[in-house]
Amino acid sequence: MKNLAIFDLDNTLINTDSDHAWPQYLIKKGLVDAAETEAQNEKFYRDYQNGCLDIDAFLKFHLAPLARYSKEELAEFHREFMAEYIIPHISPMQRMLVQSHQMAGDETLVISSTNEFIITPVCRLFGITNIIGTQLETGPDGRYTGNYIGTPSLKEGKITRLNQWLAERGETLESYGKTYFYSDSKNDLPLLRLVDEPVAVNPDTELEKEAKEKGWPVLNFK
Which residues have C-beta within 8 Å of that of residue 140, sequence separation ≥ 6? none
Which residues have C-beta within 8 Å of that of residue 153, sequence separation ≥ 6? 111, 112, 113, 132, 133, 134, 160, 161
Please confirm, yes or no, whether 10 is among the known catalytic residues.
yes
Task: Please give the Cα distance from 101 to 90 (Å, whole number).
Answer: 17
* CA nearest neighbour of 158 among 117, 183, 190: 190
Task: Please give the Cα distance from 123 to 9 (Å, whole number).
Answer: 8
Task: Please give the Cα distance from 95 to 152 (Å, whole number).
Answer: 26
CB–CB of 173/5 below 8 Å? no
Instruction: Return the H-helix or E-strand segment holding 112.
Output: strand 107-115
What residues are annotated to the active site? 8, 10
